[in-house]
């Protein structure tokens, strides 16, 4: 795929411990169009560990992008080549994670303070694979959070050939806040992201951070090229049920247009996902790794709390089977 052929109007953020291949498969059953991202995978994990374990994915997940973590251009170039061989549609470089472990490896958000290094990484990956290479960053780091600093970062990395920037519209604190707190405490700065699009009209600018649903998505799309949603989809995967029609079926999106009805049914999605889970169980995988992603599927519906509770208590047991999922379904079977 090329940058022009990937529709980034709505994507699902890379989230550690969430956007694994089972979660991505479930989301693809709900929406055929949203762009999916892997969890961040470090260059060291691929080059020094079990590369196949980290890189494998189900062909049904397309379009799917891999997010890499690292700061060594040569190492990232090798990873990009492997990711291309595995069939990913995009390579994304993490320049936004504020965790201490990531920072100690000299990648993630701290790289925003080294735009020349990021540019070198982008250039090396582009020279070694034909996939689009994108960057996900914050609006700033610690006290280096002015718009001028952000503008210079984008300008430097764009000069190396990057055409797509995903901006989490909060700055990152490298000390004093946990990674979890960094997702909510720094103030949202949507205006900075909007301003980037005005200053760099030829670049594709995607906004991320604090976006909870499709109506907010449609509002942001009046200002930028795409929206990335994160935790809201983990809490309630079904919010994407209307996405294909509401977001992707139109060349323009009036902010006031209504959200349409889902094109799929929960019962259909869960039936197909149960078949998927059984097939993986037969291959030796454990049920909890897959069933946990169902917890929010019925959020706001009658019986949802009992469904989540039963699923959490019984599907997480040692040697649990699909029977636990079937019994949990009894609480919401009328939906």
Q: Which residues are catalytic?
A: 97
328, HSE (Cβ side, Cα atoms, 13 Å)? 29
Q: How far is CA 89 from the centre of its chain?
A: 14
Q: What's the Cα-to-Cα distance from 248 to each of 210, 245, 297, rounded to whole Å?
A: 21, 6, 22
Cβ–Cβ < 8 Å for 233, 240? yes
Beta-bridge partners for 134: 92
Residues 204/225, Cβ–Cβ less than 8 Å? yes
Sign of CA dihedral 216, 219, 220, 225: positive
The three-class DSSP label of residue 161 is coil
Angle between helices 147-159 and 115-128 (to 10 degrees): 30
């Amino acid at each position: 795929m090329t940058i022009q052929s990937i529709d980034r109007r709505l994507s699902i953020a890379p989230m550690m411990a969430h956007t694994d291949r089972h979660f991505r498969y479930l989301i693809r059953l709900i929406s055929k169009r949203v762009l999916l991202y892997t969890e961040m995978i470090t260059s060291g994990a691929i080059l020094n560990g079990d590369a196949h374990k980290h890189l494998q994915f189900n062909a049904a997940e397309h379009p799917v992008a891999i997010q890499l973590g690292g700061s060594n251009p040569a190492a990232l170039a090798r990873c990009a080549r492997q990711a291309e061989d595995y069939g990913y549609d995009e390579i994304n470089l993490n320049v936004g994670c504020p965790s201490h472990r990531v920072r100690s490896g000299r990648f993630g958000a701290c790289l925003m303070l080294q735009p020349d290094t990021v540019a070198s990484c982008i250039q090396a990956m582009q020279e070694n694979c034909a996939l689009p290479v994108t960057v996900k960053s914050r609006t700033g780091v610690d006290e280096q959070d002015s718009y001028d600093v952000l503008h210079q970062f984008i300008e430097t990395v764009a000069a190396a050939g990057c055409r797509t920037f995903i901006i989490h519209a909060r700055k990152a604190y490298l000390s004093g806040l946990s990674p979890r707190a960094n997702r909510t405490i720094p103030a949202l700065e949507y205006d900075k992201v909007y301003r980037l699009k005005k200053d760099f009209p030829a670049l594709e600018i995607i906004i991320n951070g604090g976006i909870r649903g499709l109506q907010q998505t449609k509002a942001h799309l009046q200002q930028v090229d795409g929206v990335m949603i994160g935790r809201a989809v983990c809490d309630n995967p079904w919010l994407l049920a209307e996405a294909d029609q509401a977001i992707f079926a139109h060349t323009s999106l009036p902010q006031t247009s209504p959200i349409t009805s889902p094109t799929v049914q929960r019962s259909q999605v869960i039936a197909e996902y149960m078949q998927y889970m059984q097939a993986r169980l037969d291959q030796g995988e454990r049920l909890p790794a897959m069933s946990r992603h169902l917890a929010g599927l019925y959020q706001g519906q009658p019986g949802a709390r009992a469904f989540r509770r039963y699923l959490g208590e019984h599907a997480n047991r040692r040697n649990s089977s699909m029977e636990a999922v079937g019994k949990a379904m009894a609480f919401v079977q009328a939906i």
